[in-house]
């Protein structure tokens, strides 16, 4: 049986050695301390079965390298794992939007690394053998403002019950390990037993098996999605943050256009209730910013009227 080829990219020699030692008994390893050398070999036709890459490197970040890889047709379907000591939400969301398959936090154990690699390789093989969705079309699109719909490659995801969708969105938005006790508090108003969560997990795994993986380990739950994601709230928050930082009328109007309405209407769980309030407050802040920065009386009259309608609506 042919051994899978794994490319490891990290500017730290000690980390390269550590990862290589953990994997070389089972896989063929090609390691690179210089990211540009890996890119050069990709350009020459190297197609590994999996790529492990550090996030913070000089000259080029793991995010930038990942985007370059996604631009190479032969590498579109290759699983991409980040090695990172970063734990802030912004970096996790950036990796998520690019289509990271998993994060391996430093420090990590050899067993944890081998397990993550094995799961990703097995999943990649399944997707290729069953041709579940062409890799070039693997984009998860989520519409959650003013309604809810999620689709993969234009095919609507069938959730069955709202709780499954709520659990998926909560874990996706968190983008990190979440203690099961916190999951219970965020998805149910009343106390629930562990078996209730277990049943939900079984149902959710069946729904998302073609594009995501639900992990439950050491009392925590997490979610990884193996494709790029387009989520309206992520775009809205990005535009809103830019507008608030720039204090620009143009930016505030652009962000306002990105607001699609109430967040997950008719979803009644603690997490959606709290975030619904967050997005409403953010939208209000943008409306007020447009009033403050309107360039002339005509524009100011228009945006003041819009603000009044929202407040009285």
> Which CATH number do you get for residue 175?
1.10.10.10
190 and 108 share one domain: no
pLDDT number for residue 98: 52
pLDDT number for residue 14: 92
pLDDT number for residue 88: 47
Task: Name the domain boundary from 173, 195, 229.
Answer: 229
pLDDT number for residue 48: 94
18 and 112 share one domain: yes
Task: Name the domain boundary from 229, 259, 291.
Answer: 229
Closest to 153 (Cα-Cα) out of 81, 226, 216: 226
Q: Which residue has the tokens 């990942």?
A: 66
Residue 5's contacts (CB-CB under 8 Å, 6 or more residues apart) are: 27, 28, 29, 30, 48, 49, 50
Residue 185 has, within 13 A of its CA and on its CB side, a CA count of: 6
117 and 183 share one domain: no
82 and 95 share one domain: yes
pLDDT number for residue 119: 84
239 and 191 share one domain: no
207 and 251 share one domain: no
32 and 123 share one domain: yes
pLDDT number for residue 170: 96
pTM value?
0.59
Per-residue pLDDT tens over the stretch 162-182: 999 999 999 999 888 899 999
pLDDT number for residue 153: 77
Report how many domains make up the chain.
3
Flag residues of the chain having pLDDT under 70.
1, 86-101, 127-137
pLDDT number for residue 1: 58
160 and 199 share one domain: yes
140 and 102 share one domain: no
23 and 66 share one domain: yes
Contact 260, 145 (CB under 8 A): yes
For 24, counting Cβ atoms within 10 Å of its Cβ (0-12 exposed, 13-18 middle, 19+ buried), the class is middle
240 and 284 share one domain: yes
Task: Name the domain boundary from 190, 209, 229.
Answer: 229
pLDDT number for residue 286: 96
121 and 149 share one domain: no
- How many angstroms separate the Cα of 130 from the Cα of each of 39, 124, 126, 295? 29, 10, 6, 56
Which residues constitute the domain of residue 245? Answer: 232-312
pLDDT number for residue 101: 67
Q: At what angle do helices 270-293 and 180-187 cross, to 10 degrees?
A: 70
């Amino acid at each position: 049986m042919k051994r899978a080829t794994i490319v490891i990219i990290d500017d730290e020699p000690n980390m390269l050695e550590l990862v290589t030692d953990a994997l070389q008994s089972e896989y063929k390893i090609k390691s690179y301390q210089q990211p540009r050398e890996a890119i050069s070999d990709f350009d020459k036709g190297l197609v590994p079965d999996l790529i492990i890459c550090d996030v913070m490197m000089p000259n080029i970040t793991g995010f930038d390298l990942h985007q370059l890889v996604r631009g190479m047709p032969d590498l579109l379907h290759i699983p991409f794992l980040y090695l990172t000591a970063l734990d802030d939400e912004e970096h996790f969301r950036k990796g998520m939007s690019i289509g990271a398959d998993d994060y391996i936090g430093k420090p990590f154990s050899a067993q944890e690394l081998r397990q993550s690699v094995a799961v990703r390789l097995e999943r990649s093989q399944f997707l290729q053998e069953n041709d579940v969705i062409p890799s070039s079309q693997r984009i998860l699109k989520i519409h959650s403002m003013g309604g809810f719909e999620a689709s993969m490659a234009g095919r609507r995801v069938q959730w069955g019950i709202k709780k499954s969708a709520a659990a998926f969105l909560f874990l996706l938005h968190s983008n990190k390990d979440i203690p099961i006790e916190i999951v219970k508090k965020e998805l149910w108003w009343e106390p629930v037993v562990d078996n209730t969560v277990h049943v939900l997990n079984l149902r959710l795994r069946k729904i998302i098996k073609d594009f995501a993986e639900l992990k439950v380990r050491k009392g925590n739950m997490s979610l990884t999605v193996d494709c790029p994601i387009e989520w309206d709230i992520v775009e809205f928050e990005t535009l809103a943050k830019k507008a608030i930082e720039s204090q620009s009328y143009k930016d505030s109007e652009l962000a306002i256009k990105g607001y699609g309405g109430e967040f997950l209407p008719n979803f009644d769980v603690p997490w959606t209730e709290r975030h619904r309030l967050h997005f409403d407050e953010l939208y209000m802040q943008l409306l007020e910013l447009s009033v403050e920065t309107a360039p002339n009386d005509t524009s100011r009259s228009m945006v003041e009227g819009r603000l009044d309608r929202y407040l009285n609506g």
